[in-house]
Amino acid sequence: MADEPERRSIHSDDGPITRERILETALEIVDRDGIDGLSMRRLGKALDRDPMTLYRHAPNKAALLDGLAERVLDELEVDTGDGDWATQLREVARGFRRLALAHPQVVPLLVTRPLSTPLGLRPLGTLRPLEDILTLLTRTGFTDADALHVYRALFGFLYGHVLNELQELVERPEESDDLLRLGLHRLPIGEFPLLRGLAPVLASYDGAAELERGVDILLAGLTATLKRGDSSPPE
């Protein structure tokens, strides 16, 4: 793609480091080795540069992690066209889930990083989905405030669902018995009868279906609850 005629350094990599490239390789490392696998030194080595170079492009490691979360969240697309708001929200939910499954190791960052930064000071990329959803909803008749509430409910549920699904994901494929595969065998039968009984259900967890069901519940609840008040659009 990029092959500059002049090479300004001994390095085999092309050109000076950009924030983009840093975040990209950082994402690779995190995707592969988890968050704890990312250290400045390792990142530097992966970029074939001295680790200290990174501090020219980010003040902190924390800032770098923020950037990572932003970068991943940037891939979330929100259709702000004026279609059916319900299906649009559903599409957002699916997109978010897709994102989370593509980068499971980043999800803790995604849901946790914003805790450290006040809303207004967050990277713009992080706020884009919020603004998009607000426009999407207000366009179809929601109050600003109601739109905000819907956003909160949706992302509240999304965060939670994704965390739940990622938990459920851990398995031990070598075992065939559900109880064993899930590690439930160890639970005292007397104290956890229901949980143990649910082994087969737990074993056949379907995240996509679970999400759809959740969104169903949410949308049903939303239309039912918001009906009293302003002009909430139908269907």
Report the interface residues with a second copy, using CB under 8 A.
107-108, 111-112, 114-115, 117-121, 124, 127, 130-131, 134-135, 138, 144-145, 147-149, 152-153, 155-161, 163-164, 166-168, 170-172, 179, 182-188, 191-192, 194-195, 197-198, 201-202, 210, 213-214, 216-222, 224-225
**The entry of DNA, a second copy, none that residue 168 binds, CB within 5 to 8 Å by partner kind:** a second copy
Q: How far is the CB of 179 from a second copy (least distance, A)?
A: 8
Cα separation, 214 vs 48, in Å, equals 45
Q: What is the rounded end-to-end Cα distance, in angstroms, of the chain?
A: 47
Cα separation, 162 vs 141, in Å, equals 29
Contact code string over 54-73 relative to DNA, x by CB under 7 A: -xxx--xxx-----------
Q: Which residue's CB is nearer to a second copy, number 14 or number 62? A: 62
Q: Of the listed pieces 5-13, 130-138, 163-171, 193-201, which binds DNA according to CB under 7 A? A: 5-13
**The entry of a second copy, DNA, none that residue 121 binds, CB within 5 to 8 Å by partner kind:** a second copy
∠ Cα 94 223 73 (to 5°): 25
**The entry of a second copy, DNA, none that residue 166 binds, CB within 5 to 8 Å by partner kind:** a second copy
| Residue 50 found at the interface with DNA (CB under 7 A) | yes
Q: How far is the CB of 10 from DNA (least distance, A)?
A: 8
**The entry of a second copy, DNA, none that residue 91 binds, CB within 5 to 8 Å by partner kind:** none
User: Would you tell me the crossing angle of helices 124-139 and 144-169 to the nearest 10 degrees?
Assistant: 120
User: Which residue in this structure is represented by tokens 């999400």?
Assistant: 211
Which parts of 8-47 interact with DNA (CB under 7 A)?
8-9, 11, 16-17, 38-42
User: Which residue in this structure is represented by tokens 């599409």?
Assistant: 91
Residues found near DNA in the complex (CB under 7 A): 8-9, 11, 16-17, 38-42, 49-53, 55-57, 60-62
